[in-house]
């Protein structure tokens, strides 16, 4: 059967890959994608620990962790909508999608 | 017969590791695919794989929500954004900047870029090592968490969502409404200027 540690290690590795991807690229769209990967890794851990609670307690104990994952999904959807709108706007106005060339606040 | 029984008992474990490999390879490809469209499709693969892991962990409602929200809404939103914007800028500029090896300034840029890659890798490996070390020291029970056949989680989640978590649930819908209006305002302003 699946061990709790396997699921958590998978979450950690997915988060690490997403973090590395977000740090190494300068493409704003790709950074947003990698943030989604990290949020997915967090959800994976939420569900793993919820499952642990259900295995060691009653089946009802898994519900709060899964509800948290639902809220993470909601925030992710809102974040992508606003983030993509901002990126689209920057691409239209400045023709640039690379964060190292978007330096409006640079004194 | 016992071999088949053993295989049936092993199936979730095998499925988990196959899904884990698919998830990690696709996640790696999200940041390394040449074209941003391919990266978006690899992202879809990651989301689907995570939905499969949710099923193995007994979270059937979340697996369905994952496919609906992430694959059906978020990934499609990414693809639409790539489609309606200047595709060349988003997809090609990165490879162009990486391939531009002419001139000393560009060479210096590549050097900085390499240093930056190493720095990003170090930060990532350090973070992952820290979390894994914390996990090893945490004394978490290493019990099996694979799902047994159950009545499903949809009804319990709905009951909790509309009683205990009612206020956060309504706040989440307000957040979604604000995000929707915000996205429309942000993108529609440009169109008005074009009309003028």
pLDDT tens figures, B63-100: 999 999 999 999 999 998 888 876 565 554 554 454 44
Closest-CA residue to A14 (of B73, B127, B34, B139): B127
Query: The domain A4-101: what is its CATH number?
Result: 1.10.287.3510
B20 versus B93: which is more confidently predicted? B20
Inter-axis angle of helices A28-56 and B2-32, nearest 10? 150
Q: Is the pLDDT of residue B54 over 70?
A: yes
Distance of CA A91 to CAs B7, B34, B35, B128, Å?
53, 19, 17, 34
Percent of chain B with pLDDT over 90: 40
pLDDT range class, residue B148, cuts 50, 70, 90: low
* Residues B189, B191, B195: CA angle, nearest 5 degrees: 120
Q: Is the pLDDT of residue B61 over 60?
A: yes
CA distance A42 to B22: 18
Q: Give residue A96's region: left, alpha or beta (phi > 0; psi -120 to 50).
A: beta
Q: How far is B102 from chain A (nearest CA, A)?
A: 20
pLDDT, position B104: 38
Q: Do B187 and A88 touch (CB under 8 A)?
A: yes
pLDDT, position B107: 44
pLDDT, position B105: 41
pLDDT, position A36: 94
Whether A77 contacts B73, CB under 8 Å: yes
Q: Phi then psi for A98, rounded to 5 degrees?
A: -95, 130
CB contacts of A80 in chain B (<8 Å) are: 74, 77-78
Q: Furthest-apart CA pair in chain B: how many Å?
A: 76
Closest-CA residue to B87 (of B30, B35, B130): B35
A37-93 pLDDT, tens digit per residue, is 999 999 999 999 888 888 887 778 888 999 999 999 999 999 999 999 988 888 888
Q: How far is B134 from chain A (nearest CA, A)?
A: 11
pLDDT, position B99: 45
B28 lies within 8 A of chain A by CB: yes
Q: Do B140 and A2 touch (CB under 8 A)?
A: no
Report the residue from B81, B93, B132 with minimal CB separation from A12.
Answer: B132
Q: How far is B1 from chain A (nearest CA, A)?
A: 20
Pure H helices in B33-165? 36-56, 60-66, 76-84, 87-99, 104-137, 154-161
Any idea which residue has 């490879």 for tokens?
B95
Chosen from A19, A67, A76, A95 to mutate, greatest number of chain B CBs within 10 A: A67
pLDDT, position B58: 86
Q: How far is B67 from chain A (nearest CA, A)?
A: 11
Per-domain residue ranges of chain B: 1-98, 154-196
pLDDT, position B62: 93
CA distance B137 to B163: 37
Q: Is the pLDDT of residue B101 over 70?
A: no
B147 lies within 8 A of chain A by CB: yes
Q: Which CATH number fits domain B1-98: 3.40.50.970, 3.30.465.10, 1.20.120.1200, 1.10.520.10?
A: 1.20.120.1200
Q: A29-65 in b/e burial notation, b at 16+ Cβ within 10 A?
A: bbbbbbbbbbbbbbbbbbbbbbbbbbbeeebebbbbb
pLDDT, position A91: 83
pLDDT, position B89: 55
pLDDT, position B110: 67
pTM: 0.86
* Residues B68, A7, A76: CA angle, nearest 5 degrees: 35
Whether A82 contacts B74, CB under 8 Å: no
Closest-CA residue to A84 (of B73, B191, B69): B73
CB contacts of B186 in chain A (<8 Å) are: 82, 85-86, 88-89
């Amino acid at each position: 059967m699946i061990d709790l540690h396997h699921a958590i290690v998978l979450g950690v590795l997915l988060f690490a890959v997403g973090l590395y991807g977000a740090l190494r690229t300068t493409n704003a769209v790709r950074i947003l994608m990698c943030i989604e990967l990290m949020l997915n890794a967090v959800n994976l851990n939420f569900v793993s620990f919820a499952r642990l609670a259900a295995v060691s307690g009653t089946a009802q104990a898994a519900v709060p962790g899964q509800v948290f994952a639902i809220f993470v999904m909601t925030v992710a959807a809102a974040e992508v909508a606003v983030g993509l709108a901002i990126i689209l706007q920057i691409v239209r106005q400045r023709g640039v999608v690379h964060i190292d060339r978007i330096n409006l606040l640079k004194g | 017969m016992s071999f088949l029984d053993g295989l049936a008992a092993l199936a979730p474990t095998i499925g988990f590791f196959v899904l884990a490999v698919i998830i990690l390879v696709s996640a790696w490809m999200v940041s390394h695919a040449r074209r941003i469209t391919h990266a978006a499709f690899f992202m879809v693969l990651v989301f689907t794989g995570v939905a499969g892991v949710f099923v193995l962990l007994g979270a059937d409602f979340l697996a369905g929500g994952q496919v609906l929200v992430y694959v059906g809404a978020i990934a499609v939103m990414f693809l639409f954004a790539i489609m309606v914007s200047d595709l060349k800028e988003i997809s090609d500029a990165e490879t162009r900047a990486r391939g531009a090896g002419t001139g000393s300034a560009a060479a210096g840029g590549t050097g900085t870029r390499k240093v930056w890659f190493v720095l990003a890798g170090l930060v990532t490996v350090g973070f992952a090592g820290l979390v894994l070390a914390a996990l090893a020291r945490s004394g978490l029970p290493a019990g099996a968490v694979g799902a047994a056949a159950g009545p499903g989680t949809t009804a319990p989640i709905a009951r909790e969502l509309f009683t205990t978590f009612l206020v956060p649930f309504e706040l989440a819908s307000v957040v979604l409404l604000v995000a929707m209006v915000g996205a429309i305002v942000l993108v529609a302003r440009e169109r008005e200027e074009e009309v003028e």
